[in-house]
Each structure stands twice: as C-alpha cells, then as structure tokens.
Amino acid sequence: MSGGPGSSASSAAGIRTSKEHELRIVRQPLPRHDQAEKIAGTTRYAGDLAFASMLHARLVRSPVPSAAITRRDPAAALAVPGVVCVLFGEDVPHNLIWVDVPGQTVEVAALKASMEVLATGLVRFHGEPVALVVAETEDALAEACDLVEVDYQELPAVFDPGEALAGDAPAVHGQGNLLGEWRIDTGDVRAAFEGADVVVEGSYQTQTVDHAYLEPEAGVGWLDDEGVLNLRVATQVVEHYRDVARILGIPEARVRVIAPYVGGGFGGKEDMTVEPYLALAVWRTRRPVRMQWTRQESLLARPKRHRMRLRYRTAARRDGTILGQDIDITADSGAYAYLSALVLLYSSVHACGPYRVGNVAVRARCAYTNNPPTSAFRGFGGMQVVFGYEAQMDLLARELGIPAADIRKRNALARGDLLPVGQAIETEVLLAETIDAVLGRAGVKPAPSGPRKAVGRGIACNMQSYGRLVWLNDSAAAWVGFQLDGSLSIRCGVPDIGGGQASSLGQIASEVLGVPMDRITVHFGDSALTPLAGTTTATRQLLMSGNAVYEASVLLRDAILAAVAAETGQPAAGLRLDTGQITGPDVAVTLPEALVSCRRRNVPIEALGTFFGPKGTPVARDLRAGRVFPDFTFGTHLCDAEVDLDTGRVELLRYVAAHDAGRAINLRSVEGQISGGAAQGLGMALLEEVVVSEGVNLTGGFFQYLIPTATDLPDIEAIVLESGEGMGPFGARGIGEPPIGPPAAAVASAIHDALGARPTVLPITPERVLACAGQPDEPGTSR
Amino acid sequence: MNITITLTVNGRRISRSAGGHFTLLRWLRELADVTDPKYGCGEGICGACAVLVDDVPVSSCLVLAAQVDGSSITTAAGLAEPDGSLGPLQRAFHEHHAAQCGFCTPGMLIAAAAMTADGRPRSRAEIRAGLHGNLCRCTGYGPIVDAVEAAQKTAHHAGTPVSSAAAADHGTAAGAADHGTAAGAADHGTAAGAASRGAGR
C-alpha cells in the first residue's frame, strides 16, 4: 500500500508539476497498444466469447408505456423445444435495483428509488423488462419470446415533464412526479436585474438522444471452479458485481465482473444493462449463458440523454459584463430514477458556464414520466446547458454590438473566482487562449457558394467537470510490478471503453519507470483480479487511475533506486532509472541486476498505489456547497456553416475545437477524444432524436436514428492546449466528456450569424432553420 | 432444415451445417468462430458486419449464408499479410490512430479495401463518400479518412493496390442490392446506403 494520504492536496503533490522538455513518453502521439489487435480483428469483445454448450437469454419487454400486468403464462414458451426456463420477477431472489441519491430533500428525505429487475405488478415504460427466457439456441429463444403470454391493462400515463409536475397528473410512482430538485441562490439577483443596462431572455429545448455506440449491450456469464459467478460484459463499471450480488442474495466475493475492451460507452453502459439478467440465467441454470441485445432493443429501452427545457434571463452592463442570471431547467427523467437527480445536479452547477456571474438563481427540476428512462450520457447534464448559456452570450453580444469572442473573454472565469455554487476555481483557466486558438486557426470566414446561401461563423465555449462529486469518497487503486526480465505488468480495474484508458496507464508508467511501451502489459477491468479503480465515467479515469498508476510507479522506482543505492553505497538522490538501467555518477547497473538486488534485500519489485479524490461534504437541495467537483476542463469550438435559404439545409464548412487538456498523456488519444466528442455533439446538433409519441418509442432502428456518417461531417480540427494545470498525472485534465458540450451551441451560433435568427430547439432540422429564419431576434430589454 | 454451406473464409475452406435462415453474419460468428465481422444493427445500416463476398462488399447481416454458398469471403482479418502481420491498409489505420473502441474498425477496413481496390487515387470527399455506409461513433471519421488517404498514396508509389480485393465494377446500386445492401464501401454503393437511411441525408 502506498498509504496514500486522504486529501487531494498532498495526494497530488509532486504530480502536478511537469516540465515538457523532461518528459520522455508522455505527450508522444504513440499508437495505442490496443489498436493493433483491434485492427487485426482479433480483439474479443463481450459478444465475441463463446462457450461450448452455452445457453442464450433474451428479455420479454412491455409493449405499452403504462399498465398493470394482469396475467403471465410461460406455458406456451416452455413448450418450445430447447427452452430451458422462463423467469418472472418472483423468480429473482431480490427483485430490486436500488438508486441512492444523497441530498435530495424533495419528495423523500434522501432519494432512495428503486426499480424491479423484472416488472411484476406495473410497467411504466415501453420496453420495460417483464420476463427472461433462456434457451439452448437463438432460434428457440426467438420463438419462445413471442409465446410468453403477458396481459396488460393499460393505465393513465403522463408523457410531458411539465404536465407531470402539475398537480393533477397521474403519479408514475404513486407520490407526485418530482424526482429531483436543486436550487442555487447566490448574491442578489433582483438587484442585479434592476441595475442592469440590458436584459436578454431565451428559451431552449434539447432532445432525447441515444448513445448509439456501435457495440450493442452484450455479455457472457459462467460459474467458475470456485463457484464464483463470472460476468464478462460490455460495461463501464465492473463494480456492478455488488449490485448483482445484492440481487442474487449472495456474498459480493462470489461475483466477478470482467470488462473486456468495450465497443463504446458514452455513459450508456454506466448503469447495468445485461448484468442482472445474465446473472439470473447463469445462477438458475448453472450453465454458461450469453445475452446479446439487439440494436432495436438498445434503442427501445436503455436509458437515454435527458431532454431539457431551459429558460435563461441574463442581466448585463453596457460593456458586456454579466451581472446576473436567472435560470430554470426542467428535465424529463422517464419512468425510473436511474441517475437523473445527479444529472440535474450537474446541470445546475454548470448552468452559467465558464463565466463569472455573481448573482445567480437556478431552479432545476426533473420529473418522472412514462417515457423511456434517462440517465448518464457523456456530458451528464453539464452539456445540455451549453445550448442555453452560449445562446445568451450571443444574444448579449449582438444586443450590445460586442464581438462574440470579446464578450466571452470579458466574463471568463479565472483562477480564484467562485462558481455560483461556491466552489473556487483552483487552477489556471485558458478559456481566452482556446478562443484565440480556434479563431487563429480558422482565419477568414468563407464566402457563400451561391446567391441563395448564407454563411455564418459561430463559436461556443464550455466548461465540464472531471472527476466524481467530491462527497462520493472516490478512490482508485493500481498495481505495478516488474518481471525478472525487466518487463512490466500493470493491474488496474479500469474498464477501457475505447478512449485509450488502459494504454494511457502504460504510458504513465513508461514515463516514470523507463520501460518501453512494448515491454508493458496492462491488465484491466476485472473486479476479482485487478485492484478496483472505479467507474470509467465522469471523465475520472485519467485523474483517478492515472494518479494511482503514477503513485505506484514512483513508489516502485524509489524502492529500486534505494536498493541500488544501498548496494553500491551511492546516494539514491543521484541515481536515475533510465530505459533498462540505473545510472548515477559512479553507477551503471542493468535493470535485471537491480531487480536481483531488490530481491536479495527483501525489497518488493511491485507496488500498489491508491489515489483518493478530493473530499467534500454532501449537498442539500439548496446548493451552497462550496466544492462539488475536483476541477474543470475548458474549451472553445468554432463552426463555419452555410445555410441554404430555400431548403434550410445546413452544411458544415469548417469545425475547429480547442481544449486545455492540461497535459496530453497521448496527444493522438486527446485529439481523438476532441474530434469524436465534437462529432457526437454535431449529431445532436443537426440529426439525432429519439422520437417518443405518447410513451411509444417510435425510433426502432438505425434506419431511423441518424448518427452522423462520414459525409455529414467536415474534418474536425482538434487543437490541444497544455496548461500543465490539471489534477491528473503530469498536470493532465480529463478530456472524455468536455468536447461534446459546445457543438450544438456552435452550430446554432453559426446559423444565428448567417440569418440574424437563432434556432432554439434541437435537433436543428432544415424545417426549424426555415422557421427561425422568419423570426429574427427580438431586441433585448434596455434600461 | 439444415443445409451444408461451404465457404472459403480468408483463404480457409470451412463447411458448416446451418438453417436456411442463417445470415452470413450468424454463420461466420456462431458456426465458424469468425468474430471480426460485428453485429451492430442487423439492418444493413452500420456496416460493422461488412465482408467481401468474392471481392464485393456486403453487409453480412442481410445476406443468407446459403445465398453465397461456395463463395470466397474476406473479413478484416483477411487483410493481414500472409505471415499474420498487419497488411498495408491495416498499417495505415494503425499509424493514423483510426481505431478507438475498434468495434466499427473491421467493417471500415472492408469498406476501405473495396474502395481502394482499383488503385485510383481518391479525394478526401470521395473517401468520405466511400465510407458513408459505415458508422463510427468514436473518431469523427477524420483519422479513418487520413488512413485511407495515406494507404492509397503508399500504394500508388508502390504501384500496387492497397488491398487484394479485385477492382471489379461491383458498385452499381443494383449490383449492391443483389448482395443485400452493400456496405456502402463501393463508390456507387453509397447511393443505396443513403437511400436506406431515409431522406435528407
């Protein structure tokens, strides 16, 4: 054990400083170690592993959004040859999945919501699991699932979050539909508005979005020789083994979750997907079982991004200084709580964006409805609000005749500023530098390609937290050990969901220990055999497991240098661990020789590092929390777009995205996160929407849910700034979520520039572009 | 009723008995343990299951195995060198960081192989059009376009096609439809791909 200190300040000491010229491996745009196998086609994803005599499992789901289950009969399904069992909720040892959200003081003291693993009495959304069928073959399974008889008596339902919060709406869970509420009241908002030179107002709507990772939810489960239930699943969270144990009523030590390389997560594999069902099927049959959700199932029933209604009023001085903001947020949580209350907390804390605003009122509410549930998605509530606060910045800029870049720089947060929630910004903010970077790269705005075309340029800035909420006592552990030949093994429970999470750990250890990447193996994502590193969510893994690997590597390096110092009689301070050897003024020892010295002197050639995140106290509904997050990442995107004035079609001509990544552990991976996040955000801007009508999810497949293709996007130009100011190893900031924030606002801003009118509803379809073209900005209220 | 279907997969002759309703994708993955073609949607939209059937790019989720009995199938793994090391196109993907989660990658490689088979250099816009039938959610496509562009340049200098796929005129929309919607890999296949994704694209 490192005995890592519990406070961030001391844990991070020595890690924060990194001088570029001293770095050997970090910052290099090295090909990630996992790429070769992926490109060779040999990587075995969750759905690629098979056992002989493996069974197959599939869910029967509710065809209606709100109903009482009046009859269930498995007889016809069981009669299909090859069917092994049909399970209902009564067959689940503990048929509940719990969600705990501390700090919610609304309907219940602290929100303790739950949902059934398999619904027994009521179904609350279209697609809710009702029965689990297990069969010898996929064919038998398909036939049997159609033959499970379930009768439903439809019940009154509510589909609009605003209506759900009205007094007379049907209660989705029997006691009002207010699932979560947060308030911020900072300064004197009324006085700020009364003293303002100008006030601008806007209402904005974001839509329901699907993660649409290419790999649908899948996994294989089996019982091993110790009687341990193994689940090898596509997940962002191996710690769900605890939830599985609770559902089955068995010790946590009897469940193991393995996350192989995941085919994309984006938050959609943060909550459990196949895990409880696979576990049940294995536990019941005692045989290996595979579960593969179809794309259509994934689109139908897995939690989505919250659609939100945002209402902003912004007060400012004539010189562009923002005096106050009054913000109201309403989000659709769908039928079950999942992580909605926390998503909304993120929206509240991020509601003013990367700007200094002294007087702020935020009221944020999320409501149960009978729509598909909503939960985690890259950006996690911190990204929908960008569409609101950046629209307000553009409105102010236009009203006051101040360039869009200038008004943002004038109000940009700086080190030492307080967020409305009370958290101080502790690190250097390069927001202005990201603005200059995108403008510098983009040069002159292009001319329209024809007479009925208009070209606009938009920019949008954002901030997004990295690391988990500070009262969650976050920690990550990693084990780093030399082999006798000087090669290196790393064990860390991090799930690698495609962002290079495992490869980055290798690069960090390589930097400290001088071992080339091709002599390092990273074992990852195994709840039984790798030290737990927590979830690959919340842009936390580089901060958490990165620092854990860094700590372990430093411990190991220092132990080896101390052993060599003792062996040679030289002071350890003068020794250096280079590639394959320890050198000093009068010392040249090969690494294998040094490792022998360690063993002779009872010095371990392995180390466990545990990193503890910054601590804080839990929040109450009224947010005066002080610190909520470890830190934030800042960035600016620029979009040049051409609008066809006859059709409303928007063509993206140029897209530039700059973020301060603190320190790029792998430059290519950071650029990949930026361009990929921007692309996903551009899909939300222009194309994507999960269409739900009266609770019925009409988005039945990829032929209807349109994510961007290669022809929908321009080359996305990523610019990586490195302040060295982050809390991760070598001063890195998290970069996974931040780039998805600005695109929708940047596109709207470009259209605003082209037309003098702004689309305020997502996605920005041609119809909406034409509609807004006829409605130029209303003037702000000047005082 | 089961049928014995024989396919030559990446140069290896494989016979398996399967139901007549088995798609080529299921036949490969469930019966032949060829798992690099991925199930992504089952609709012929995402392209993750793309393979070459006698050098024609095909969404293997839309083709019945029985329809292509006797054919030669190339998957992404089949683009490797005979000694198992990465082939030229694969090396370009590696050098240009074209895989993140990697799930779309086998299909992307097939699309790229089909596109570059004729050795004709393509513009970035043409490359994008050629990749239009394959979805990626991680990269934003830029690195994949970079990889294809670099691979065709290298091949142009060397005077050899990037992949071994034949430069046949496989790309007519009708021809693509015969094989199930093509993976959109062929230049002209994009028309079919676009149509299947609805209007306004």
Q: DSSP for B167-200?
A: ------HHHHHHTSS--S-STTHHHHHHHHT-S-
Whether residue A725 sits in one domain with residue A576: no
Residue A301 placed within a domain: no
Residue A38 placed within a domain: no
| HSE-up of residue A631 (Cα within 13 Å, Cβ side) | 30
Q: What confidence tier does B111 reach under pLDDT thresholds 50, 70, 90?
A: very high
Question: 3-state SS of A268-308?
Answer: CCCCCCCHHHHHHHHHHHCCCEEEECCHHHHHHHCCEECCE
pTM score of the predicted model = 0.94
Whether residue A414 sits in one domain with residue A283: no
> What residues contact B56, with CB distance under 8 A and at least 6 apart?
B114, B168, B170, B175, B179, B182, B186
Residue A604 placed within a domain: yes
Q: When comparing pLDDT for B198 and B146, which is higher?
A: B146
Nearest to A740 by CA among A209, A215, A182, A234: A209
Looking at residue B198, what is its pLDDT? 35
Cβ distance A602 to A559 under 8 Å? no
Whether residue A390 sits in one domain with residue A419: yes
Looking at residue B156, what is its pLDDT? 63
Nearest to A384 by CA among A425, A339, A349, A430: A349
Whether residue A743 sits in one domain with residue A719: yes
Whether residue A671 sits in one domain with residue A605: no
CB interface of B with A, residues 81-100, below 8 Å = 86, 90, 93-95, 97-100
CA distance B114 to B128: 13
Cβ distance B139 to A668 under 8 Å? no
CB interface of B with A, residues 147-176, below 8 Å = none
Cβ distance A282 to A223 under 8 Å? yes
CB interface of B with A, residues 54-73, below 8 Å = none
Could you say which of B19, B41, B190 has the minimum Cβ distance to residue A295?
B41
Contact B43 A675 (CB under 8 A): no
CA distance A530 to A462: 35
Whether residue A708 sits in one domain with residue A569: no
- The token pair that represents A781 in the structure block: 């209220």
A338 Rama sector, left if φ>0, alpha if ψ -120 to 50, beta otherwise: left
Give B47: exposed, middle or buried? Use CB within 10 Å, 0-12, 13-18, 19+.
Answer: buried
Pick the residue from chain A with its C-alpha nearest to B96: A31
Domain end, chosen from A543, A578, A612, is at: A612
Whether residue A373 sits in one domain with residue A398: yes
pLDDT in tens, B119-143: 999 999 999 999 999 999 999 999 9
- Domain total of chain A: 3
Whether residue A549 sits in one domain with residue A428: no
Report the side by side order of strands in the sheet with A581-584. Answer: A576-578, A581-584, A587-590
B41, B94, B197: best mutation site toward chain A, by most A Cβ within 10 Å?
B41
- The token pair that represents A663 in the structure block: 């320190």
Looking at residue A746, what is its pLDDT? 98
Residue A379 placed within a domain: yes
Looking at residue A109, what is its pLDDT? 44
Contact A31 B129 (CB under 8 A): no
Nearest to B101 by CA among A25, A672, A741: A672
Judge whether A536 is closer than 8 Å to chain B, CB to CB.
no
Looking at residue A732, what is its pLDDT? 97
Nearest to A297 by CA among A97, A62, A48, A124: A62
Residue A654 placed within a domain: yes
CA distance A551 to A259: 24
Whether residue A776 sits in one domain with residue A641: yes
Could you say which of B35, B76, B133 has the minimum Cβ distance to residue A44?
B35
Looking at residue A258, what is its pLDDT? 98
Domain end, chosen from A612, A638, A670, is at: A612
Looking at residue A662, what is its pLDDT? 97
Contact A672 B100 (CB under 8 A): yes
Domain end, chosen from A259, A293, A327, is at: A293
Pick the residue from chain A with its C-alpha nearest to B126: A711
Residue A163 placed within a domain: no
Residue A12 placed within a domain: yes
Apex CA B142: angle with CA B139 and CA B143, to 5°? 75
Flag residues of chain A having pLDDT under 50. 1-17, 103-109
Whether residue A642 sits in one domain with residue A508: no
Looking at residue A32, what is its pLDDT? 87
**What CATH number is given to the structural domain containing A400?**
3.30.365.10
**What CATH number is given to the structural domain containing A108?**
3.90.1170.50
For residue B159, pLDDT beyond 60: no
Residue A235 placed within a domain: yes
Contact B138 A676 (CB under 8 A): yes
Could you say which of A671, A701, A709 has the minimum Cβ distance to residue B43?
A701
CB interface of A with B, residues 220-279, below 8 Å = 261-264, 266
Whether residue A338 sits in one domain with residue A266: no
Looking at residue A110, what is its pLDDT? 54
Judge whether B198 is closer than 8 Å to chain A, CB to CB.
yes
Whether residue A416 sits in one domain with residue A498: no
- Segments forming the whole domain that contains residue A454: 308-469+618-782
Looking at residue B171, what is its pLDDT? 37
